[in-house]
Amino acid sequence: MRCAVLQPMYIPWRGVFHQMQKVDLFVHYDDVQYERGGWQNRNRVKRPGGVGWLTIPVTRKGHLERSLAIGDVRISAHEDWASKHWNVLRESYAEAPYWETYSDLLRAHYASPPQRLVDFTIPLLEAVAHELGIKTRFLRASELGVSGAKTDRLLAVLEAVGARHYLSGPAAKAYLDEPLLADRGISVEYMTYDYPAYPQLHGEYDPAVSIVDLLFMTGPAAGAHIWGDLATTPG
């Protein structure tokens, strides 16, 4: 069984969805430490004035002092961030070819955001994956009750779900203990990212913006711009 394990992110770029599409099971790594300045609560979109960040405000107390797990991080109740993010998306993509096709899907998530960060980001991730035609099964690591640190913890997750092949992002090459996984009968593969360009609004092409950009601009062809025939065609 092929498995990927990745921290929940806020509407990430298409490489994350490619990783989902290539495995049988995608585990949301929600029980590891929250990382300030990471991708768990923010991402980039193309705006009329240039590429900008959408950041979900989270309560700061305890994140560093108590090393909160991602799954325990709460969204700040003192800012109307959801309305602001929705307005930015509408301002940025209302003229996109497939805005009307997918805007209701996203709006439903922003209409009544939950208190915990993962209870917003994970359902939104899975909803977008469904629209892309991804059939992968999803699971939260917190449901497994594993312990440990670094590769030991990852190994515990993989063994708990019966994985025999682990698909990782390329950055993990610097620290992943591959021999440890091999000793337990788990092979390792690293993602490679080589995607075609596609038409974008608002200036020069940027390959590393949120998946919503690709979805609004290419619609049903979005998957082909990630793993389909277009992957071997110049942009």
Residues spanned by the domain of 25: 2-232
Q: What is the pLDDT of residue 181?
A: 95
Question: By the 8 A CB rule, do 28 and 8 touch?
Answer: yes
The secondary structure of residue 64, as a DSSP letter, is T
C-alpha neighbours within 13 Å on the C-beta side of residue 161: 29
Report the alpha-carbon distance of residue 91 to residue 35 in Å, rounded: 29
d(CA 17, CA 129): 7
pTM check: above 0.85: yes
d(CA 98, CA 215): 7
pLDDT of residue 61: 62
- What's the mean per-residue pLDDT of the chain? 92
What is the DSSP secondary-structure string of 11-41? S--HHHHHHHHT-SEEEE-TTSB--TTSSSS
Instruction: Convert the pLDDT of each residue in 67-100 to its tens digit.
Output: 789 999 999 988 899 999 999 999 999 999 999 9
Looking at the 3D structure of the chain, how many domains does it have? Answer: 1
